[in-house]
Amino acid sequence: MQHTFHLKAGSMTPGFLHMIKNLFGDKEIKIVVEDVQSSDVSRAELYQSTLELIDLFNDAKIDPNINISEIANEVNL
C-alpha cells in the first residue's frame, strides 16, 4: 500500500502520525521526506507549451516495426 501526502511541515501533528499508524498498522514502512518546489507556471502557460510541442511533432512518423514496449522496458531497467 502507498499513500502520498502533500502538506506543510508545520502541519505535522501527533494526530498525523496517529493517522499513519492507523493506516499501516504494525507493518514496516518507509518514510521519505522531500521539499516541494512551488511552480509559478500557470495552467494556461502549460497548455500553451503543450500545444507548441504537439505542433512541433505534428509531422513525426514512427516506424511501425519499432517495438515501443521494448524501448520502454530498456528505459525502466
52 Rama sector, left if φ>0, alpha if ψ -120 to 50, beta otherwise: alpha
Which pLDDT tens digit goes with each residue over 65-75? 999 898 888 88
State how far the alpha carbon of 15 is from the alpha carbons of 33, 69, 77, in Å. 18, 44, 39
How are the residues of the chain apportioned to helix, strand and coil, as percentages rounded to the nearest 5? 45, 0, 55
Which pLDDT tens digit goes with each residue over 8-31? 889 889 999 999 999 999 999 999
Q: Does the pLDDT value for residue 37 go beyond 90?
A: no
Give the whole-number percent of the chain exceeding pLDDT 90.
42
Question: How much is the pLDDT for 77?
Answer: 63
